[in-house]
Amino acid sequence: MQQESFCQFSPLFPPLKTLLRCLQAGISKPIIHGMKLLAVFVTIFCLHVSAKTEAQQVTLNLANVTLEKVFEEIQKQTSYNFFFQEDALAKANKVTVKVKNATVKSVLDFCFKDQPFTFEILDKSIVVKQKEEIPIPKSKIPPITITGKVVNEKGEPIAGASIRVKGSTIGTSTDNNGEFSLSKIDGPITLIISGTETQPQEIVISESGPVTIQLTTKVKEFDQVVFIAYGTTTKRLTTGNITTVKASEIGKQPVSNPLLALQARVPGLFITQNTGIAGGGITVRVQGQNSIGSGNDPLYVVDGIPINSQLPSTGLGLVLGNSGNVAIGSPPAAGNPLNYLNPLDIESISILKDADATAIYGSRAANGAILITTKRGKIGKAKFDIDLQQGWGKVTRRMEMLNTRQYLDMRYEAYALDGIDWRDPNQVANDLKVWDTTHYTDWQKQLIGGTAAFSNFNASLSGGSETVQYLVSGTYNKQTTVFPLPKNFADQKGAFLISLNTTSPNQKLKTRFSANFMVDNNRLPSADITEFAVLAEPNAPPLYLPEGELNWELNEAGSATIINPLVGKYAFYENKTNNLITNARVGYEVIPGLEIGSSFGFTQMQTRDYSPTPLLAIRPNWRNTVEQNSAVYGNRNISSWIIEPQVNYSRYISKGKIDILAGSTFHENKANGGSIYGVGYSNDQVLGDWLSATNIFANSSFSTQYRYNAFFGRIGFTWDEKYIINLTGRRDGSSRFGEANRFHNFGSAGVAWIFSNEKIIKRNNSVISFGKLRASYGTTGNDQIADYLYLSRYFPVPNVQVPYQSSAAISGGLPPNPHLQWEKTNKFQTGIDLGFLKNRLLLNATYSRNISSNQLLSYSLPTITGFANIPFVNFPATVENTTWELSLNTINIQSTQVTWETGINLTIPRNRLTEFPDLDNSTYKNQLIIGQPLNFTRAYKFQQVDPATGLYTFDAKQDPFNPDYLEDAKIFINTNPRIYGGFHNKVTYKGFELDFLFQFVKQVAYNMRFGSNFNTLPGNFFRGSSNQPADIINRWHKQGDIAPVGKVSTLEWDNVYLNTTYAMGSDAAFSDASYLRLKNLSLSWNLPPALQRKLGIGNGQLYIHAQNILTITSYKGLDPENQNIYTLPPLKIISAGVHFQL
């Protein structure tokens, strides 16, 4: 017969406790019988003792603890002893108790209100036992009348709380004393109780009578958890400049790269989507550009593991675009590393901007850090969530170009002004001689006007107990293209996430493991056809013949007269990538407050890409003569590991708390790859096999190894939750520097004063609910340079026809520089955080000033040295970035039925070169100007179009028609954003939620007023790129005309051609490109509970998500974000979906 097991905490009865444990272990029958007799004796004794202890009181401040912990604390403060069944109590829910001088019974009533047990007080003994549930048919329960009171954790009444009967329209609210009443309601019923500052709660009531309901206060804005380097904090206690974007905001955006979910949401962070191609490049800048020639990317950290900020290209994949400039000497890059991380697997993204937040990362975070935390399992029942989403994508805007009549008029006029007869046999004018001059095609509509399909399916299983929490998630994502290509031209991703957290029963040993794996198969045309869609002649012939083959519009000689952009149907680019990110952490609490542990990480990215050029993609007259069928095969392998042992110590000292962190980092990253080129295959069916090629050539290769070692520490001290100081330090060692300068020290200090906690302000202020002043100063470094630059390097010479003595050839590369030093950035920031009207209005203002010195730049050498340059030398140049960051969040309406929240963030950046000694005598004289931004354009001062000649004139010292760049280009145009930010609103009504975000950017960009590109000027012809913007209509035609656009010409490199290029380089070629964009829109409806029960689901929701919906701008090009006509602009995506739980 199985024996029940009991526990008793009190040390006053060690024999009883021992016997009870013996009973649990099943020890001999005599002991069991003795145990039973002793239990009976103790019970009889307790029943006869005076009840003088009944009114004993306790003071508790416990958060999210077990019932055993509550019992232990009560026993410490009273003479009560607890008896309970140990295995049953394991099912108990954790509780939060904050009371002062409360009776034991009232505390236990609160702790047991939602538990599957009850208790009985027998003098000094408290017996815990299982509840006996006796179901009563609803028809037999008479109508009930309920009176009650709603209080908070301190027992204070809550006025205005909503009381509603679930599944009905019956309800009321509490009065000023927190009291309410409901009469004659058929029971049993479920009450839903909620308040403006409390978490909603449901309780079941089956009989009349008074009830007391205690609600838990909501986690306030300033008390929300914020992830920082090697730990967490809260907004209230942080001294750094950190912004966090949560999963709830990320999940409302139909994006495949999590970086795009940050646009317009984070002050000080500017993100540019460089292409609308799936898997394309994205540029990220945190508080501006610090380095002139080195990398300017932030540090990306996923679950504690640094990942590459740039992906080295195999030599293929140019269609993916880039993610900003790479450092001099580094392999070319393509795409973006975070394209291989599933946004739906992310719990939060924290952007660390100032020295206090980033200095602990040392040399890797001079440009800020972006910390990504993936989702983890939570305590609770197993949940199976399913999310299904289907969407559609379109190009947001089109560019107004010339139609056929307007285009032909321009061409005929250009010939006439040049005095040339276009019918002359020596003139190549296929658009006038061969093509149908009555034909018109809107190429933007035909080539980039299609609809891309966006599909996303996600399923996850999560749950856990106090000791084990788990999460398993799987996602399939597919995005096709707007190009008129077969459906297999798509980016298909399969993502898998597993997370497992464990805690020992004594809470001392904690482990965490996560693995994120993605398989990506992306097929694209080998080249972006957007340029053709914009610039193709409007009378260019159809791209397909009637029988469905590609049209080359052959002339009488059999030569192709067009460049067919749809060769990408056959000459495609395929990228297959597997990406693995794994992390594990082990921590053990040696003594209370002292934990030792270590984290371990490993990443592996493997890429195989392939780009064939079959005969069908080659113009017919070139096949197997000028050009043979060919293929390029690429591969890339990037792997890294990291180990970071750490010691954490935390202790309360009187009114203060001290937190100490010490640790070390051991990190290695390896990358290698390249491509080979095969040509001359027997047929197109074997292009995938490089052994079938007649000739194989080395195309490109790279191999790098990066090692990093550091020691770091942090000390944080908080006194009375008013005064905060945070000190960090790090000593870095990087393999990218020579032995003389391999190690460097970095550090920071941050302070904060929560002045709203001062007594004088609390007593005399009813408006300010929170106020904090903060400031920090520190240094960070930048080692985003190519590897091995301090060494003398040699490079292989591939594809040598006749190798000398059959030996591989190498060429002298670059001279060594063992004195290479770190770039250093000094960061200062100060700010204020304010909360008004019980934090219904939150204001944050931050000023930052970052000064980057010891700039690493290429140094040119005289040719007699045998070298063109030294790749990197430290210049005494200084770059300054100042930033004003402002954010305002308000709760406009907050009631039981309606809530309306608004948020706006605004950034005012400024970037400039402040120092560069002897700049006028350096090779950077024409690239940099002291006092100007790093990204500026030198321009001529435009005057007008000369009425007599139709040529442009400029403010020039010598010839107004032919200005000199060094003498006359004195206008400096800043193309950096002047102001940027976002405006967010969230409105809820019953089960509906509307969420929308506007993005705004103030900037200047090239306006294409004088022509669409420098290669084919107005009037010139080059097949596939001769059309011009519609503004060319307002051009000069004849002598005496007053016009904004000059004369057109068919000639290249004559005076008209050169004069037009000067106009394109003048200040008149730049104009306002500011825009206001409805960046994100989300509308959702939570299904009614009755419908969910009928369907057998939970958390049912229907939703519509949309991205890049509407753009308001005066910009003349395709899109003001990526500002060019050569790559596909960001797409407008609208998706509809359903989420539910089984």
pLDDT at 474 over 80: yes
Average pLDDT over every residue of 1082-1110:
92
Positive or negative CA dihedral for 751, 755, 757, 758? positive
Considering only CA atoms, which of 1047, 1043, 1041, 1053 is closest in space to residue 416? 1047
Nearest to 269 by CA among 290, 286, 244, 282: 286
What pLDDT sits at residue 87?
61
Q: What are phi and psi of 837, to 5 degrees?
A: 50, 60
Percent of the chain with pLDDT over 90: 62
Q: Give 185-189 contacts, CB < 8 A, sequence gap 24+.
A: 185/143, 185/144, 185/145, 185/146, 186/138, 186/141, 186/143, 186/144, 187/138, 187/141, 187/142, 187/143, 187/144, 188/136, 188/138, 188/141, 189/144, 189/165
The residue-averaged pLDDT of 37-54 equals 38
How confident is the model at residue 709, as a pLDDT? 95
pLDDT mean over 1001-1020: 90
pLDDT at position 812: 72
> 460 near 374, Cβ under 8 Å?
no
74-83, 536-545, 854-863: the lowest-pLDDT one: 74-83
pLDDT at site 722: 93
Phi/psi region, residue 464 (left: phi>0; alpha: psi -120 to 50; beta: rest), is: left
* pLDDT in the model for residue 985: 97
Which one has a higher pLDDT value, 316 or 93? Answer: 316
What number is the average pLDDT over the span 814-822?
Answer: 83
Report residue 1078: phi and psi, to 5°: -75, 95
pLDDT in the model for residue 539: 96
Report residue 752 as tokens.
């904060």
Dist. CA 772–CA 760, nearest whole Å = 15
Average pLDDT score, the chain: 88
Residue environment code for 859-882, b if the CB has 16+ CB neighbours within 10 A, otherwise e:
beeeeeeebebbbbbbbebbbbbb
Indicate whether 945 pLDDT > 60: yes
- The residues with which 27 forms a beta bridge, in sequence order, are none
Contact between 1129 and 1075 (Cβ < 8 Å):
no
In a 3-state reduction of DSSP, which class is residue 106? helix
Split at pLDDT 50, 70, 90, the class of 209 is confident
Tell me if residue 140 falls in helix, strand or coil: helix
| Bridge partner residues of 51 (DSSP) | none
Between residues 431 and 135, the one the model is more confident about: 431
Q: What is the pLDDT of residues 456-471, one digit of tens each?
A: 999 999 999 889 999 9
CA–CA gap between residue 948 and residue 968 (Å, rounded): 23
* 599/582 Cα distance (integer angstroms): 11
| DSSP assigned state of 627 | B
- CA separation for the pair 262, 669 (Å, rounded): 27
Q: Looking at residues 875-884, what average pLDDT do you find?
A: 95
pLDDT tens digits for 150-199?
887 667 788 778 888 877 778 788 887 788 888 878 777 788 887 766 77
Q: Could you tell me which residues are beta bridge partners of residue 697?
A: 677
Contacts of residue 389, Cβ cutoff 8 Å, sequence gap at least 6: 254, 454, 455, 456, 457, 1105, 1135, 1136, 1137
Higher pLDDT, 380 or 1084: 1084
Higher pLDDT, 912 or 195: 912
Which pLDDT belongs to residue 221? Answer: 65
- Confidence category of residue 421, pLDDT binned at 50, 70, 90: very high
Q: Which residues lie below 8 Å from residue 635, measured CB to CB, with a gap of 6+?
A: 314, 606, 607, 608, 609, 673, 674, 675
Q: What is the pLDDT of residues 333-362, one digit of tens each?
A: 999 999 999 999 999 999 999 998 888 888
**211 touches 222 (CB < 8 A):** no
Per-residue confidence (pLDDT) for residue 371, from 0 to 100: 95
First to last CA, the chain: 39
Residue with tokens 């009187």: 654
Model pLDDT for residues 705-734, shown as the tens digit of each residue: 999 999 999 999 999 889 999 999 999 999
- What are the structure tokens assigned to 843, written together? 């204001």
Q: Is the pLDDT of residue 15 over 60?
A: no
pLDDT digits (tens, 9 = 90+) for 1026-1051: 999 999 999 999 999 999 999 999 99
- DSSP state, residue 915: E
- 51: CB partners within 8 A, 6+ apart: 123
Q: How far is CA 448 from the centre of its chain?
A: 27
Alpha helices by DSSP H, 232-287:
247-250
Q: Which range is least confidently modeled, 42-56, 777-791, 999-1013?
A: 42-56
Domain coordinates of the chain in residue numbers? 6-130, 138-214
State pLDDT tens for residues 646-699: 999 999 888 899 999 999 999 999 999 999 999 999 999 999 999 999 999 988
User: Coil, strand or helix: which one is 332?
Assistant: coil
Phi, psi of 11 (to 5 degrees): -80, 0
Please, is 625 exposed, middle or buried when counting C-beta atoms within 10 Å of its C-beta (0-12, 13-18, 19+)?
Answer: exposed
- Report helix, strand or coil for 648: strand
Length of the chain: 1142
Per-residue pLDDT at 197: 65
Q: Is 3.55.50.30 the CATH number for 6-130?
A: yes
Lowest-confidence range among 28-42, 227-241, 594-608? 28-42
CA distance 289 to 295: 9
d(CA 796, CA 799): 10
pLDDT band at 589 (very low <50, low <70, confident <90, very high): very high
The CA distance from 196 to 179, in Å, is 16
- pLDDT computed for residue 85 by the predictor: 64
pLDDT at position 272 is 97
**Phi-psi sector, 1084: left (phi>0), alpha (psi -120 to 50), beta:** beta
User: What integer pLDDT is reported at residue 16 of this predicted model?
Assistant: 36
- Strand segments (E) across 966-1041: 971-974, 979-989, 992-1002, 1004-1006
CA distance 489 to 1083: 30
Residues 604-644 have pLDDT tens digits of 999 999 999 999 999 999 998 899 999 999 999 999 999 99
* pLDDT greater than 90 at residue 263: yes
CATH class of this structure's domain 138-214 = mainly beta
Which residue type does 1039 have? Answer: Q
Asked whether the predicted pLDDT for residue 220 surpasses 70, the reply is: no
Compute the distance between CA of residue 1120 and CA of residue 1007 in angstroms, rounded to an integer: 10
CA-closest candidate to residue 771, choices 313, 356, 346, 222: 222
Residue (of 202, 194, 153, 190) closest to 173 by Cα position = 194
Q: Is the peptide bond before 188 cis (omega within 30 degrees of 0)?
A: yes
3-class DSSP state for residue 963?
coil
What gap in Å lies between CA 214 and CA 539, rounded to an integer? 76
Rounded alpha-carbon distances, angstroms, from residue 145 to 151, 163, 208? 20, 14, 5
Asked if the model's pLDDT at residue 39 lies above 70, the reply is no
Tokens of residue 535, six digits: 């610039």
**34 or 89: which leads in pLDDT:** 89
Bigger pLDDT: 42 vs 1094: 1094
Mean pLDDT, residues 569-595 taken together: 95
Per-residue pLDDT at 761: 86
pLDDT given at position 35: 37
What's at 465, amino acid-wise? S
Neighbours of 951 (CB within 10 A): 20
Q: Which long-range contacts (CB under 8 A, 24 or more apart) does 508-511 make?
A: 508/588, 508/589, 509/586, 509/587, 509/588, 509/589, 510/585, 510/586, 510/587, 510/588, 510/597, 511/584, 511/585, 511/586, 511/587
